[in-house]
Amino acid sequence: MNLAEPMVAALADDLEALAFEYLDSSGEGAVAQTRGDLFALAQAWRRLFEKHGLETGDEIALSPSRGPHLPALHLAALADGLAIVPLNSALTPAEIEGVLSDARVKLVVSSEEVVERNRSIAAELTEAGVSWLAESEVDADQASGNFEVRHRDGDDTAMTIYTSGTTGEPKSVPLTHAGLLANLEALSQVWHRSSQDRLLHVLPAHHYHGLVLGVYGSLLAASPVVMMSSFDARSCLDAIRAHRINLFMAVPTMYSRMLSVAEPGDSLDGLRLAISGSAPLPVSLWKSFSDRFRVPLVNRYGLTETGIATSTLPEAPRAGSVGLPLPGTTVGLLCEGRYVGACRGKRSPLGEICMAGPTVTEGYGNNPEATDAAIHDGYFHSGDLGYFDEGGHLFVEGRIKELIIVGGSNVIPGEVAEVLAKAEGVEDVAVVGEPDEDLGEIVAAYVVASAAQRDQTTEAEIEASLREAAAKGLARYKQPRVYRFIGEIPRNPTGKVDRARLLASAS
């Protein structure tokens, strides 16, 4: 069972239909790619894979530009039964070298820019018998023949994603054909995806959100994708209207920036579904965006290792929650040594979120110790804290390792940040624990003042507003002892707060 089979079957229905349209960062310069164009370019890549001796099951690293080669390369690699290793083009040469040495790839294909930046690594790979090609080296005129898909078993690896490695060396996460298909089909059912959707794609296409949900999900639904070369909040608002977009996926930071640049005449009336993920979605942002655009954000929860496990329903938006478990996925909470599921009519205790089902990886490919630590009792243990409300909806309260322990009392950073974000003059805020000789840790808030307030309000005045909000909304031990004003909250590419860089900025 090859994931490419249902994609090819859906796309082959009408080869003249639009598959992808590519825009520059301003939302202009549209370049159209029909399904027939996509198949032809993918077939050309398959000829080149054959020329380089790639066989079913071999690993191939991909880091193409955000243009026609992106979907063509992925479709070609899947159809050939290759195991894809998506490369983040923003990684340093040393980081890319670490991934490639662990993955043992047979071929690397990337944009010319990424090739140029990694000339020394490419030379070392060539000596080891591994070629590194620029995407321009394919000859599309060589494309011919039927687009056949090689057979793969459902438990064969379709893709290996390397985690960000914020707590150590990146870990490899193998994802199977059957697992990816099961996750995309469950999401298609919940989100009502169809060929009538038009997705505006602004996410990085090397991780689960942007690649699997955005690109693969659209190929499976045979729905057109309008892809911007990079995210720009103003251009994004314009493109949603100009290109009749009805489906959008983004991280919370993107929604916040769209809200901040919105003008009185901006409308998202044609948008049926706006999905948020990859980082916590503050309730205040959910409400502000919904009130301004009349489009409730659909929140979902999952990890690279588990796929998407829960989602709120488009027809029943719910602020603060990440939704209900998807069909086929079991979500439980580890509470005092036992697993607790949702119980309608009763709120659950707080516990570690654990998941099981066909979408969950069997383990890390390069770290058996991490596998043993994360997977036991048939569950993947996320390290995230959460609870189920009386309706069975899951709420994520933060990570176990991010808990701040103040004099023996647990403080969840996300809870504090949610309260502080409502204070006047605050654009962004992150909360961490800092060492303290007396209490062990204290709560520290890192604050970005809103642009509108920077010239009109002093930091002392904004801090007074923060302290007032904290006093009203938080128990005394949860209230920050320290407020630090900075220009920007450091975040990783998926929008999560980079706590190591945040703490380093204070030293």
DSSP secondary structure string for all residues of 54-77: --TT-EEEEE--SSTHHHHHHHHH
Please give the structure tokens belonging to residue 469: 């909000």
Residue 268 dihedral angles phi and psi, to the nearest 5° = -120, 40
pLDDT of res. 276: 95
pTM: 0.85
pLDDT of res. 145: 67
**Single-letter code of the amino acid located at 52:** H
**Single-letter code of the amino acid located at 162:** Y
**Single-letter code of the amino acid located at 493:** P
Q: How far apart are CA 492 and CA 476, in angstroms?
A: 31
CB 159 within 8 A of CB 365: no
Buried-exposed string 210-246: b where 16+ CB fall within 10 A, e elsewhere: bbbbbbbbbbbbbbbbbbbbebbbebbbebbeebebb
pLDDT of res. 452: 67
Q: How far apart are CA 105 and CA 101, in angstroms?
A: 8
Strands 426-436 and 440-449 come out as antiparallel
- Of the candidates 240, 247, 322, the residue with the CA atom closest to the CA atom of residue 279: 322
**Single-letter code of the amino acid located at 300:** R
Residue with tokens 């057109």: 224
- Of the candidates 261, 215, 272, 204, the residue with the CA atom closest to the CA atom of residue 238: 261
CB 194 within 8 A of CB 388: no
The model's pLDDT over 421-476, given as tens digits with 9 standing for 90+, comes to 989 889 999 999 988 877 778 999 999 998 766 667 788 999 999 999 999 888 88
Q: How far apart are CA 499 and CA 402, in angstroms?
A: 9
DSSP 301: E
- Report helix, strand or coil for 130: coil
Q: How far apart are CA 364 and CA 351, in angstroms?
A: 24
Report the DSSP beta bridge partners of residue 340.
333
* Residues contacting 337, CB < 8 A, separation 6+: none
Burial zone of 77 (CB within 10 Å; 0-12 exposed, 13-18 middle, 19+ buried) = buried
- Helix/strand/coil percent split, the chain, to 5: 35, 25, 40
Kind plus residue range of the DSSP H or E element containing 115: helix 112-117
Residue 365 dihedral angles phi and psi, to the nearest 5° = -75, -20
Residue 420 dihedral angles phi and psi, to the nearest 5° = -65, -30
- Report helix, strand or coil for 232: coil
R_g over Cα of the chain: 23
pLDDT of res. 165: 46
Low-confidence ranges of the chain (pLDDT < 50): 165-167
- Sequence spans of domains, the chain: 403-504
CB 284 within 8 A of CB 421: yes
Buried-exposed string 100-138: b where 16+ CB fall within 10 A, e elsewhere: bebbebbbbbbbeebbebbeebbeebeeeebbbbbbeeb
DSSP 212: I
The model's pLDDT over 481-493, given as tens digits with 9 standing for 90+, comes to 999 999 899 987 6
The model's pLDDT over 145-191, given as tens digits with 9 standing for 90+, comes to 689 999 999 999 999 999 854 445 778 999 999 999 999 999 999 99
Q: How far apart are the first and last CA of the chain?
A: 53
pLDDT of res. 400: 83
Adjacency order of strands within the sheet including 225-228: 31-34, 18-23, 225-228, 199-201, 247-250, 273-276, 297-303, 307-311, 324-325
CATH hierarchy code of domain 403-504: 3.30.300.30
Entry field: residues in the chain: 507
Q: How far apart are CA 144 and CA 158, in angstroms?
A: 25
Three-point CA angle 154, 160, 164, nearest 5°: 145
CB 78 within 8 A of CB 33: no
Residue with tokens 């010239």: 455
CA 89 to chain centre: 15
- Indicate if the alpha-carbon torsion angle 248, 207, 93, 71 is positive or negative: negative
Report the DSSP beta bridge partners of residue 32.
21
Please give the structure tokens belonging to residue 144: 């011919």
